[in-house]
Chains A and B, each alone.
Chain A
Amino acid sequence: MARLELSSVGKAFGAVSCAADLSLAVEPGEIVAVFGPSGSGKTVLLRMIAGMFEPDEGDILVGGHSIVGAPPERLGIGMAFQNFALFPHMTARANIASGLRARGAGADVSAKVQSISHLLKIEHVLDHSPRELSNGQKQRTALARALIGNPEVLLLDDPLRNVDAKLRYEMRLELPTLLRRGSASVLYVTQDYREAMAIADRIAVLIEGRLVQVARPEEIYARPATVAVARLFGDPSINLAEVVPVAERGVLFADISGTRVRLDTADHQPMDLGACWVGVRPDDLVISQVASGDAIPARVVAVTPMHEKAVLLLRFTDGTEWLAALPPSATVADDDVFVRFAPEASLLFDRATGVRIGLPHRRQAA
């Protein structure tokens, strides 16, 4: 099995840059999720690897050999498309077998089709044509087609986008095992941070054609490289406030809506930092009815019950609005409450560059 490596890949369509200086390596057996908002260049990246576009700069290597310019049929890449891209005039069986037949797999084609469709639970629809399949079955057929030849590199372009929520949950559980079976290098594009966190070993965050952070899911959540990354991970998304932190006797303080709160200094020296954003996840807020020195007074503007949690919209006295996600409680709209958070729960970002303070590596100019 072979390592997939992108080395300083760049691509522009006219004046629009879709990828700039992308470097990323995917080890055999590893699943890397490429995550980013729509229009960030995820699909272009995948299509460059699949040989549909050629990069303007840089190189793409599989097992140490450049694949740039090679015709798609020679790549040995399996790909699942967001729109499934099944061959509409062939049965599901012929769709799945198409790759094997072309590569001369010979007699065991039907055995292989049988075993992969057993794995994906689509044996009963193998003789149906794509238009007779549900979206979930189409998607499984497309996955089977991508997986069957045990390709060295697997590319999945947001395969769960067009399937319903229930199936998406099921597939999130099944996919990691399925994808790891052939120990291929897997690149998984998604717009859903939960999907990326559930499926991938590492997540590559792509924003406006640049890789902003490549790290393990829990690290990206806990230590996002920039404020943009912090905003993308988490629902409801992270609360931000403009602050100018001040260091006093080895402790960093910031003024949020007139209340002095202590900030985290775990991975940087407490010092005066200039204009910053402070970020706190809605899950980390603690709401109390009792005032205390470090609690920010707020008014509950609205309460939205969501599953096992309630989301509270809080307005501080200076007008800043934050969200808190809490187990449902007696709190109702128009209550006056006091908000606290543990210093460790706070993240600091440089307001000018958006880069998180305290992460010496990967710091980059805006």
Chain B
Amino acid sequence: MEHSSLAGRVFRGVALALVLVFFMFPIVWIFLMSFQSNEQILRIPPRILFEPTLFNYQALISGQLRTTAGNLEISFMRNLMNSFVLSSAAVLLALLLGVPAAYAFARFKFRLGETIAFTLLSFRFAPPLLVLLPLSLYYQQLGLNDTYFGIVWVYQLIALPLILWIVRGYFEDISPDIEHAYRLAGHSWREAFTRIAVPLAGPGIAAAGLLSFIFCWNNFVFALILASADKQPVTVGALAFVTASGIQYGQIAAAIVLSVTPTLLLALYAQRYLVEGLSLGAVKG
């Protein structure tokens, strides 16, 4: 690298900048939009320089949207809270169920094992709309319609297969000898699981948890059908910005900024764990 010419360095810089602009532009543009009024956003040509306003954020946080057609109640903060509760609970439940299951699939060969694992993965293949209609009928019968638990349960379709298959791979990468050694040292298999397997698969579990959190957070259609207004997450709640007096671009942008921030921060924080090596020099070499 140190031998590269000046031209090479310049070219690399330009290429990097282009890629960066390509990926970052939508985020930056949305961020800028969130500080503009609808009129400022819709003016042609658009301007980079403008007088920033906190109006959009005020409207979101206070829940009062003043439009030309009148005052409108929006429950964005409640939606945000719902997103948090639903996604966290779904990921937590999926981790509780998925990590032990992934361990079982990785360590033990049992009858129909592969079939069961693949069936769980196949939930990801099915178009959600296909299962939603029968599911909503069942939910009505069971009284699960419009409950947090019902939505968390249906989110398992998203989170569980993901966690199961990612974490399984990480468990398979851990030499079983390490666990055998721990057991021979006088520990039960439960201790070997909690003190050896889970910590060593930690980065994998974190990655799988983060990914399924993002997928749950971004889900739209399950909550749209199965939950009413007070239990809906931000993705569904954003529909409220399409009002009789037009689309509230400023509020949408602010809502996007607010709803993207938690996952973005989480991803940035978890990044170093995600890339961390797994085996940590356990085995030879």
Contacts and interface: CB of A to CB of B under 8 A. Distances in A.
A129 B175 CA distance: 17
B187 interface: yes
B262 interface: no
Interface stretch (B2-10, B87-95, B116-124, B276-284): B276-284
B127 to A, nearest CB: 41
Interface stretch (B96-104, B155-163, B177-185): B177-185
A102 B181 CA distance: 13
A134 B108 CA distance: 33
Nearest to A135: B284
A83 B196 CA distance: 16
A79 interface: yes
A103 B200 CA distance: 23
Interface in B142-191: 175, 177-178, 180-189, 191
Given A71-B188, A81-B177, A87 B281 contact: no
B183 A85 contact: no
Nearest to B279: A88
A75 interface: yes
Contacts of B199: 89
Contacts of B200: 88-89
Contacts of B183: 71-73
A226 to B, nearest CB: 32
Given A71-B183, A129-B280, A86 B188 contact: no
Contacts of A50: 180, 184
B178 A73 contact: no
A162 B284 contact: yes
A84 B284 contact: yes
A90 to B, nearest CB: 9
Interface of B: 175, 177-178, 180-189, 191, 196, 199-200, 279-284
A89 B277 CA distance: 12
A10 interface: no
Given A72-B183, A99-B186, A103-B186, A83 B284 contact: yes
Nearest to B284: A162
B283 to A, nearest CB: 5
Interface string A123-134: 000000111110
A213 interface: no
A87 B180 contact: no
Contacts of A132: 281
Contacts of B175: 83, 85
A78 B185 CA distance: 7
Contact of B186 (A73, A87, A89, A133): A73
Contacts of A133: 281
30 contacts: A71-B183, A72-B183, A73-B185, A73-B188, A75-B184, A77-B184, A79-B180, A83-B175, A84-B282, A84-B283, A85-B178, A85-B181, A86-B282, A88-B178, A88-B200, A88-B280, A88-B282, A89-B199, A89-B200, A89-B280, A98-B182, A98-B187, A99-B184, A130-B281, A130-B282, A131-B281, A131-B282, A133-B281, A145-B181, A149-B185
Contact of A73 (B184, B282, B283): B184
